Structure 1
Amino acid sequence: MKIGIVFAGQGAQYSGMGKDLYDNYPEAKEIFDMAGDQIKEWCFNGDEETLKQTHVTQPTIYTTTMAAYKALMAELEKEGIADKLEIDALAGFSLGEYSALTAAGAIDEISKGIDIVSRRGVLMQEAGLDEEGNAKGGMAAGIGDRSAILEAVEEAREDGILEGANFNSPTQTVVAGDKAALKRFRRAAKAKGVKAIPLSVSTAFHSPMMVPAAEKLRDVLKEADLKEPKIKVYANVTADDIMKDFDGGDVGEYLTDMLARQAMSPVYWEEIIRRFDGDGVKAIIEVGPGKTLTGNTKKTCPDMAALHVENMETLKETVQQLKEMI
């Protein structure tokens, strides 16, 4: 049976994430122990305010996600169904793309992945601050008709930078930009019958505000010696195989460019889910904190099984559902 595995992005973090997996799976414990005491403390005991700071969020979610992935793989082997499942492709939402590339072997060491996303978090945090250290922008989710949302974006651009940042499902589009434009967007959206919900993030990800971070991120990624993925990974920026446009040469350089672009470009998540559907995937498993991507899968492809793994309970439920589907 064909399955897809997708990896959580920022915004779903919470105190205590990954703790029961750490306590029950040696494979998960190994990941957390490798990450170190500070990341463990943030994951297991961090307060909401600390966890939403980008430089904290990125390494904690990456670590928890990789621990959950290792626990899932161990459980599938233990239950004797790993060889009955074909992983068609992987994908990850924004930060989650680094988890997908780690699972695919492009980032060949967990410790390397933690270092990359930690530095990425710092760079993105810095890019989103003004000279006084205050957030220059933010993000909001538009819930409703996409054309109405994009019309509201056009109107709001009269007051500043605003872009469609995440195209998540047929009825959810996230926008990112500066504060004045976001304020105007909320008014314009309301007038068009669209609900606009401010997101609890510290800056305007996947927007032109991230250009300085993307340029500095190139240097971080160049050091990482990225490898060719052993499993197909659908890229955020193209909603297609991340290696599709690779025409030989340096794989690391190619992936560095793709990931640098990702920081300042929209995420075409709805298209990625449709890509899995077109491949004949029967179930998509979201791995990592929360179930935001699971909700988006249900909205985009209601007939596809949408499962998720973030703790012991959801891990056992997901494995049981897969056993019943095989």
Structure 2
Amino acid sequence: MTSFAFTFPGQGSQAVGMGKELAETYPEARAVFAEVDEALGQKLSTVMFEGPEDNLRLTENAQPALMAVSVALARVLETRGVRLAEHAAYVAGHSLGEYSALCAAGTFSLIDAARLLKTRGQAMQKAVPVGHGAMAALLGLDLATAREVAAEAGQGEVCEVANDNAPGQIVVSGATAAVERAVELAKGKGAKRALLLPVSAPFHCSLMQPAAESMAAALAEVEMHAPVVPVVSNVLATPISEPAEIRQRLVEQVTGVVRWTESVTWLTKEGGVTNLVELGTGKVLTGLAKRINPDVSAIAIGTPADIDAFVAQVLS
């Protein structure tokens, strides 16, 4: 028996041109992009389709842009007969992708999701002055060793594991000097590579506490419904459906670890999922899924050709 979970990518997957072919092909996608533009009071779709890249990469633009493409894909699939409520057992999203997952599953309206992510992006950027925070990928270390590196690198400053993306792919986040120390220490502890990431703020660490407080206030104002299928929470790596708990976990997520390895492991073991389907720009989560569980089927859907092939597969 085939069991699907839909996954939704996070920041870093954005690229100039994202969503353009969808908008040209599907009225449902055009409607999503127009609604997001109106909700935000800016022509985000123009930045998505045409750039400039620097503008798209801004956290406050990248986050709602990635959500818009993911939700557009979900809406197109629905009109083609592949409905989340009927065809997915679970949804999960990487960091901001959790909002995309929840919007696609009916927890948030599209307008609220766009505005929440704009707020989230701005709050995360404001939480730490530019240059004072950094993130680094530690490749080839296990989670326990990465935690040791972070603790040793701290020296009184914040340095914490932020993302457990896949076996051998851990990201640390914190004060710039501490993260730079972690890069050097990781090399001495057997990392294949350790490198600073091109990000504008130290996401998913305790330095983001001011942003967590901003999100608590923003989420308190938004109407939320139970998702049509459970969402596997980033901070728990287990499924939840209760709106009050979703709200709480989204606040915790701002400073908490993205437990992606454990989330995918839960989906494919306890959750019985056999097919992971990434809806959005790029194929990052599909690559991670194959590293986490080589036995699972993982595909990415981002183009009209991908949609046609997937609809034919599911509805055949």
- TM-score w.r.t. the length of structure 2 is 0.91
Tell me the equivalent position of 1:163. 160
Contact 1:207 1:266 in 2 (8 A): yes
Partner Cα separation in structure 1 for residue 53 and residue 238 of structure 2: 34
Q: Which runs of 5+ in 1 are unaligned?
A: none
Letter of the structure 2 residue corresponding to residue 116 of structure 1:
L
Displacement after TM superposition at 1:321 (Å): 5.4
CA deviations over 1:300-321 (Å, ceiling 9, x no partner)? 1101111011222433344455
Q: Do residues 87 (structure 1) and 84 (structure 2) align? A: no
Q: Please identify, of 112-121 and 142-151, the stretch whose mean Cα deviation from structure 2 is larger.
A: 142-151
Normalising by structure 1, report the TM-score: 0.89
Q: Specify the alignment match of 1:154 in structure 2.
A: 151
Deviations 1:94-113 (A, max 9, x none): 10001111122111x21111
The secondary structure found in structure 2 opposite 1:205 is coil
Q: Does 1:254 align with 2:245?
A: yes
CA distance in 2, matches of 1:215, 1:70: 32
Classify 1:128/1:314 alpha carbon distance in 2 versus 1 (closer, same or farther; 3 Å).
farther
Tell me the equivalent position of 1:144.
140
Q: Compare 261-270 and 310-319 and name the one that shifted more.
A: 310-319
CA distance in 2, matches of 1:317, 1:159: 53
Match of 2:300 in 1: 308
Out of 298, 309, 320, the position equivalent to 2:290 is: 298
- 1:35 is aligned to 2:36: yes
Q: Matches of 1:115 and 1:85 in 2, distance apart?
A: 28
AA matched with 1:45: E
In structure 1, the partner of 2:254 is 263
Describe the superposition over 1:23-55 as per-residue Cα deviations: whole angstroms up to 9, x where unpaired. 101111110111125111111111222222111
- SS of the equivalent of 1:17 reads coil
SS of the residue 1:284 aligns to = strand
Alignment of 1:56-67 (within 5 A): 56-67=61-72
Cα separation, 1, equivalents of 2:6 and 2:194 = 29
Structure 1 CA distance for aligned equivalents of residues 85 and 100 of structure 2: 23
Q: In structure 2, give the amino acid aligned to 1:241.
A: P
CA contact (8 A) 2:77 2:83 kept: no
- In the aligned structure 2, how far is the partner of 1:162 from the partner of 1:47? 32
Distance 1:302 1:85, change over 3 A: farther
Shift of 1:145: 2.5
The change in CA–CA distance for 1:84 and 1:66 in structure 2 (over 3 A counts) is closer
Q: Is the Cα contact below 8 Å between 2:85 and 2:228 reproduced in 1? A: no
Cα distance in 1 for residues equivalent to 2:247 and 2:84: 33
1:186-224: CA deviations, max 9, x gaps? 111111221112222211111001101101111111111
Letter in 2 for 1:59: P
* SS of 1:66 mapped into structure 2: helix
Shift of 1:175: 0.8
Offset of residue 85 of structure 1: 6.6
Residues 83 and 99 of structure 1: is their aligned pair in 2 closer, same or farther, counting only changes over 3 Å? closer
Matched, 1:44 2:63: no
Task: Quote how far apart the aligned CAs of 1:322 are.
Answer: 4.9
Of the three residues 258, 263, 272, the one matched with 2:263 is 272
- Deviation of 1:72 after TM superposition, in Å, equals 2.9
* Identical positions, percent: 34
Superposition deviation, residue 283 in structure 1: 0.7
Tell me the secondary structure at the aligned position of residue 4 of structure 1. Answer: strand
Q: Is 1:10 the counterpart of 2:11 in the alignment?
A: yes
Mapping of 1:223-234 within 5 angstroms?
223-234=221-232
Aligned 1:63-78 pairs, distance under 5 A: 63-75=68-80, 77=81
Contact kept in structure 2, 1:2 and 1:85, CA below 8 Å: no
Matched, 1:222 2:223: no
Is the CA contact 1:11–1:200 (under 8 Å) kept in the aligned structure 2?
no
Q: Which residue does 1:127 correspond to in 2?
A: 127
Equivalent residues of 2:94, 2:258 under 8 A apart = yes
Contact kept, 8 Å, 1:159 with 1:180, in 2: the verdict is no
2:105 maps to 104
How many correspondences in the alignment? 308
> Which residue in the other structure is 1:193 paired with?
190
CA distance in structure 1 between the partners assigned to 2:298 and 2:62 by the alignment: 25
